[in-house]
Structure 1
Amino acid sequence: MAHIHPPKIEYFDLDAKSNTDPKGQLRSVDEYRLTPTGLYMFRPLAGHPKISHFESWFLPKLNIRVTRQSWHPGHLIDFDFYVDVVEINAIGTVWKTTDLYLDLIVRTGHSVTVLDTDELIAAVQHKLITPERAQWALETTYSAVSGISAHGHDVVRWLTSSGCPTTWR
């Protein structure tokens, strides 16, 4: 059974170096970097038992947020990148993302897996998003899966070939 919830919205204030998460929690951001193709963010996850920090690229051209997490010692990771399908809007120096449920787990050189299709379907059934937005999310997902797969399951190679080069810490 899918967890039914409205699309998750986040705000990223470049001037304040803050991130307001979907629950309204204000988080401090260590670094924002604005480029012609997107926005990079690096921030710690204070108090998280497994993850020490994460870094994300918000790429409006591709309608995705690509995240790489760093883990505390002793915690195993079984993926390299987490990709969210998102609508991205920017007003001045505040960026806003609306997460449209679908996520990709990428194991570089091995696989890409789509998650949360059940959540997307439940959201449409409960009229939390329109069928048109769901179709857009699915098409965005298919495009990302196809691109990542065609580049040897390598997100960074796919992003570069798509005109969205990224650099990571």
Structure 2
Amino acid sequence: MRHIIVLASIGLLAACSSGEKDKGPTQREQIGQVWKYEGGEGAKAKLAYIGSTNAVQTMTAPDTFSVLLIQPMDNGEKIVRVKLVGAPFRCDLSDCSVSATGDDGKTELWKGRITTTDDGIEIPPSQKAYEVIAKSKTVKVDLITGTKDEKTAFQFNVAGLDLPK
């Protein structure tokens, strides 16, 4: 009888461990591709963010994507951060910049400094990144996802941003 119980227990353990566990939503699914707000809604939000609609496979992650974050300042200006999730963010530290294209088709060069977490670039209000985002329905941002020559255009559906202009 003991042998049957032991064999049944081993079989039950094997059955439980062979199934794939529910890991919950991925980071990309949690961020999503629509605007989300922290610290309030719309004009009262302390932070707005949105994930790119596309993702690419890189050497470090099968689902590398980008995130745009907008942080309103007390004086009404907005700081924009462009982050890369799943791959290291790369830029020339002496001239850290990314190129972005809004609905008008004009490519802008946004210059800033690498974020304190080294996963993106912080673009000051003087670069007018917020203005491009606020007046566009879609924005594409080119980021290095591999070697210096391997760039990926990450697209964001930015329509519906609810922050004061």
Compute the TM-score of the two structures, normalised by the length of structure 1.
0.32
The structure with the larger Rg is 2
Compute the TM-score of the two structures, normalised by the length of structure 2.
0.33
Bigger proportion of residues as strand: 1
